Amino acid sequence: MRKPLIAGNWKMNNTKLDAELFMVDFKPLVRTHKKTEIVLCVPYTCLEKVKKLCKGTKIKVGAQNVSWADKGAFTGEISADMLKELGAEYVIIGHSERRQYFGETDVTVNKRTVQALDNSLKPIVCVGETGDERAADRTEAVLKTQLAGAFEGFSEEALREVVIAYEPIWAIGTGQTATPEQANATIKFIRKTLAKMFTRPTANKVRILYGGSMNGGNVAELMDMSDIDGGLVGGASLKPEEFASMATYNA
């Protein structure tokens, strides 16, 4: 059984004070919930604070990027050690905004994911096609390339530690959600591709999330689908009541 996972991606939002106010509202709403793993991927500056505020709960914290190097001359990057020191357990890797604005490629996604796993951080690796690619019927080809690049050289054991987020770029922050059938079919394709790259039992163990304008109104119908194991949530994760309702959709 794959445990459902709902992860919030705060992106570059929330100061430490904002984070504290969020947690005051959010924490009591999810405190006793056990059926879903809940992760908050927050800005680096909030990590330590949010981790402290999560004490006594099952909420986990994550970052939104990690360097592929241990340390050294990598201005602006952050190391796995630094993230772990602040309490991070998860890290988002290869989000489409990093690919679009910061030159992230399948090669760097691979290197960052290896580094996360080597340092016991759980990677949430993002893949997804643009609207043009979907319109040109290239979704499967694009995903195949992204998966082959991201997990090149991986062992079965390593892949089992990875979480994948399928995030169609046309659905991120647009209010245009993939239909549950569309998202499920594409996630099934991702699993089939992993089964070919590795083995079916390993592919069946990997949690694959959907991301793209997921909200309190559509979470249940998406989560009801056979292959969708959770969500990576942007905008709605900034609203404590709504995000709590999503994280406890199966209460």
**Contact residues: ligand PEP, CB under 6 A:** 9, 167, 172-173, 211-214, 232-236
Give the torsion sign (CA, 52, 219, 91, 12): negative
Active-site annotation holds for 95:
yes
Q: What is the spatial distance between Cα 223 and Cα 11, in angstroms, rounded to a whole number?
A: 23
Smallest distance from the beta carbon of 154 to ligand PEP, in angstroms? 23
Question: Annotated catalytic residue: which of 95, 97, 129, 133?
Answer: 95
CB of 193 to ligand PEP, least distance (A): 21
Give whichever of 121 and 183 is closer to ligand PEP, judged by the CB atom: 183
Q: Which of 37, 97, 104, 167 is catalytic?
A: 167
CB 93, min distance to ligand PEP, A: 12
Residue nearest to ligand PEP (CB): 234
Give the H or E element holding residue 150: helix 139-150
Cα–Cα nearest to 59, from 25, 23, 86? 23
Q: Which long-range contacts (CB under 8 A, 24 or more apart) does 223-226 make?
A: 223/4, 223/249, 223/250, 224/180, 225/180, 225/181, 225/183, 225/184, 225/187, 226/184, 226/188
Looking at the Cβ atoms of 47 and 232, the one nearer to ligand PEP is: 232
The least CB distance from residue 153 to ligand PEP, in Å, is 26
State yes or no: is 33 an active-site residue: no
Nearer to ligand PEP, 129 or 167 (CB): 167
Q: Are strands 163-166 and 230-233 parallel, antiparallel or unpaired?
A: unpaired
Cα(87)–Cα(61) distance, integer angstroms: 7
What are the tokens at 84?
């772990």
Q: Between 61 and 232, whose beta carbon lies closer to ligand PEP?
A: 232
Tell how strand 60-63 and strand 90-93 pair up: parallel
Q: Which residues are catalytic?
A: 95, 167
